């Protein structure tokens, strides 16, 4: 599964590590809905740390498309909400 962290790069996440990443994605979504900024920041930071430590980073010139996209490091709940609400 190819995952992009915005403002960072592409990572190849193995099937074995996917459930842990999806759990943090759910935490992020719950926090987003509840408007819980600290919980959101914590889930996002943990998610990014997990991807960086478990997945393999793809080369800079790799031009594959991603399957999943993670918000940029340090993004606030409001920033992410704005991106999702603004759409395309």
Partner 1 sequence: MSVMKRLSGIVQAKANKALDKAENPADMLDLTYEKQLENLQKVRRALADVATAKKRLELQANDLKTQADKLQSQAKQALSQGQEDLAREALARRATIGEQLEGLGTQHQQVDAQQAQLTQTSQRLSAQIESFRTKKETMKATYQASKAEAGVGEAVSGISESMTDAGMTMQRAQDKIAQMQARSAAVDELLTSGALPDITGSAPDDIQQQLNAASAQSDVDAQLAAMKAELASSAPEALPASSAGASAPAGSADDIAEASVETSDGAGQ
Residue of 37, 45, 49, 74 interacting with partner 1 (CB under 8 A): 74
Please report whether residue 67 would count as binding partner 1 according to CB under 8 A: yes
| Site map 1..40 versus partner 1, x via CB under 8 A | --xx-xxxx------------x--xx-xx--x--------
The string of DSSP codes covering the chain is -EEEETTS-EEE--TTTHHHHHHHHHHHHHHHHHT-HHHHHHHHHHHHHHHHHHSEEPPTT--PPPSEEEPPTT--HHHHHHHHHH--
Q: Which of 34, 56, 60, 78 binds partner 1 (CB under 8 A)?
A: 60
């Amino acid at each position: 599964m190819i995952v992009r962290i915005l403002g960072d790069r592409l990572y190849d996440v193995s099937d074995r590590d996917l459930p842990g990443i999806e759990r943090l994605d759910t935490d992020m979504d719950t926090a987003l809905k509840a408007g819980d900024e600290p919980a959101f920041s914590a889930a996002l930071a943990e998610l990014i740390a997990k991807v960086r430590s478990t997945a393999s980073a793809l080369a800079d010139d790799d031009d594959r498309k991603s399957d999943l996209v993670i918000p940029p490091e340090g993004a606030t709940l409001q920033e992410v909400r704005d991106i999702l609400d603004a759409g395309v």
